[in-house]
């Protein structure tokens, strides 16, 4: 017995919760690494500015962690509340990484607490820096484990079904499924990339406001370097993901590319608008899809027409794919141009318009993250477990899901606005110039 409206509202509520959570979760995965790098550079070069960078990022980070933790708790429980039938089955096969994620999370929470409250306690900054290693590892590992759960939903394996019963369950085989390597790697590097560009975007706002402090210049240079490395890595791993899809989930790739007929030497469709059967305003790159899918311009790519109509994902995911790829490429370009200009002393990177581009880079990266997740998730519809369990079979049968959706939407609105207000207030009342002056007077023994 399936409750149609509960299925629909469960999907909407899950989507809203996850879309809100991943903003904070992405920051939560990437920023600890940035803090660790800043602290390390500061310690190595004995440069107070980088240490301060780490300190100020950490302070802001706490606010985003708080929202990440509470929305993460929400999605954790919502999985069982909204998808009880799915969780009953998944619990038997994929509980291991879910369980390991809580340990990673525990680990991060403990050391973040210690790091935050021992700022001036140790004699050497090295001891303090060591505390950041478990924070960064915990943050990244929780992303690894939870992405493993998600990749299992795309490529379920590690069990057999005999007369409706699950038999021969192998938790490790379920974890190391074919979707796992590309998914985990892509999630990690895009989180690092997004965090670097968000911090760069905040720094660029300082420049636009007229600050010319050396602290911001150091921050920008460091972040652009990191941003370039991680955005190139994202693009590379994105390409591997395309190859994975061609091999294991061809219907997702075909829907994302509007590739209908199976053919050799398949062209890649960029942009375009779907009008009935016809694609208007498209840009076609010959052979590119075959190269993307199989690294071979003449390789055959499976088209959508090979699949039964009720097993293909919605075609709008093509737009999501375009948004994600376009933003990714743009950010590679922006950071590359910045670094070239920096080494050749081109002055245009100091202009207003270039700083505006960098300011936009942060929010754009977040949009790319959202688009990427929507592409990945909508792209496996109609399945909750690809090839095994359809989404409506996994959903709850209880009523009131629509009412809960309203309550959670209000909650997320409050959390979103609250976190922005608090963050702005925090840094406005304590600009870097003031903090440096305060620390110097502290060192002089005037105030302690």
Nearer to another protein, 398 or 441 (CB): 398
* Member of 23, 38, 67, 202 binding another protein (CB under 8 A): 67
Applying CB under 8 A, which part among 165-173, 193-201, 362-370, 377-385 lies near another protein? 165-173
Site string for another protein, 377-416 (x = CB under 8 A): -------------------xxx-xx-xx--xx--x--xx-
The SS3 assignment for 296 reads coil
Least spacing, CB of residue 349 vs another protein, in Å = 31
Residue 243 touching another protein (CB under 8 A): no
Nearer to another protein, 125 or 262 (CB): 125
Phi, psi of 385 (to 5 degrees): -120, 110
Residue 59 touching another protein (CB under 8 A): yes
Residue 101 touching another protein (CB under 8 A): yes
Residue 240 touching another protein (CB under 8 A): no
Applying CB under 8 A, which part among 82-90, 192-200, 293-301, 369-377 lies near another protein? 82-90
- The rounded distance, in Å, linking the Cα atoms of 191 and 330 is 16
Applying CB under 8 A, which part among 61-69, 202-210, 290-298, 380-388 lies near another protein? 61-69
Residue 71 touching another protein (CB under 8 A): yes
* DSSP-assigned states of every residue in 187-211: HHHHHHHHHHHHHHHHHHHHHHTT-
Cα 94 to the center of its chain, rounded Å: 22
Contacts of residues 160-166 at CB distance under 8 Å and 24 or more positions apart, as own/partner, are 161/388, 166/89, 166/92, 166/93
The token duo for 48 is 């107070």
Site for another protein in 171-230 (CB under 8 A): 171-172
Applying CB under 8 A, which part among 168-176, 216-224, 238-246, 252-260 lies near another protein? 168-176
CB 306 within 8 A of CB 313: no
SS (H, E, C) 311-366: HCCCCCHHHHHHHHHHHHHHHHHHHHHHHHHHHHCCHHHHCHHHHHHHHHHHHHHH
Residue carrying the six token digits 């110039």 = 433
Site for another protein in 106-145 (CB under 8 A): 106-107, 109-114, 116-121, 134
Q: How many residues bind another protein (CB under 8 A)?
A: 79
Q: What Rg value do the Cα atoms of the chain yield, rounded?
A: 24
């Amino acid at each position: 017995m399936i409750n149609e409206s509960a299925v629909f509202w469960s999907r909407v509520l899950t989507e809203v919760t996850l879309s809100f959570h991943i903003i904070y979760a992405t920051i939560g995965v990437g920023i600890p690494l940035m803090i660790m790098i800043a602290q390390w550079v500061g310690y190595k070069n004995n440069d107070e500015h980088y240490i301060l960078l780490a300190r100020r990022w950490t302070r802001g980070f706490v606010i985003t962690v708080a929202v990440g933790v509470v929305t993460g708790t929400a999605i954790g429980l919502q999985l069982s509340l909204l998808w009880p039938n799915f969780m009953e089955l998944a619990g038997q096969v994929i509980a291991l990484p879910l369980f390991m994620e809580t340990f990673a999370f525990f680990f991060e929470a403990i050391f973040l607490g210690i790091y935050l409250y021992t700022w001036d306690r140790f004699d050497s900054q090295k001891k303090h820096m060591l505390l950041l290693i478990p924070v960064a590892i915990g943050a990244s590992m929780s992303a690894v484990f939870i992405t493993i759960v998600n990749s299992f939903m795309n490529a379920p394996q590690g069990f057999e079904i005999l007369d409706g019963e699950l038999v021969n369950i192998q938790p490790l085989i379920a974890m190391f499924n074919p979707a796992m390597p590309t998914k985990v790697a892509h999630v990690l590097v895009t989180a690092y990339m997004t965090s670097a560009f968000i911090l760069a975007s905040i720094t660029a706002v300082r420049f636009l406001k007229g600050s010319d402090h050396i602290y911001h210049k150091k921050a920008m240079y460091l972040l652009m370097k990191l941003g370039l490395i991680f955005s190139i890595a994202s693009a590379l791993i994105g390409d591997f993901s395309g190859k994975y899809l061609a091999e294991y989930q061809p219907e997702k790739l075909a829907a994302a590319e509007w590739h209908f007929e199976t053919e050799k030497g398949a062209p890649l469709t960029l942009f375009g608008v779907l009008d009935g059967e016809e694609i208007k305003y498209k840009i076609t790159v010959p052979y590119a899809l075959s190269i993307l899918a199989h690294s071979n311009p003449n390789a055959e790519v499976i088209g959508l027409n090979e699949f039964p109509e009720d097993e293909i994902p919605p075609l709008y995911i093509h737009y999501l794919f375009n948004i994600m790829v376009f933003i990714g490429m743009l950010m590679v370009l922006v950071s590359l141009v910045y670094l070239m200009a920096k080494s050749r002393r081109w002055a245009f990177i100091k202009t207003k318009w270039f700083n505006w581009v960098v300011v936009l880079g942060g929010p754009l990266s977040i949009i790319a993250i959202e688009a990427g997740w929507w592409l990945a998730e909508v792209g496996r519809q109609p399945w909750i477990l690809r090839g095994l369990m359809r989404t409506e079979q996994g959903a709850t049968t209880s009523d009131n899901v629509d009412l809960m959706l309203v309550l959670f939407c209000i909650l997320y609105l409050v959390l979103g606005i609250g976190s922005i207000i608090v963050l702005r207030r925090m840094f406005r009342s304590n600009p870097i110039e003031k903090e440096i002056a305060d620390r110097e007077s502290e060192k002089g023994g005037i105030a302690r």
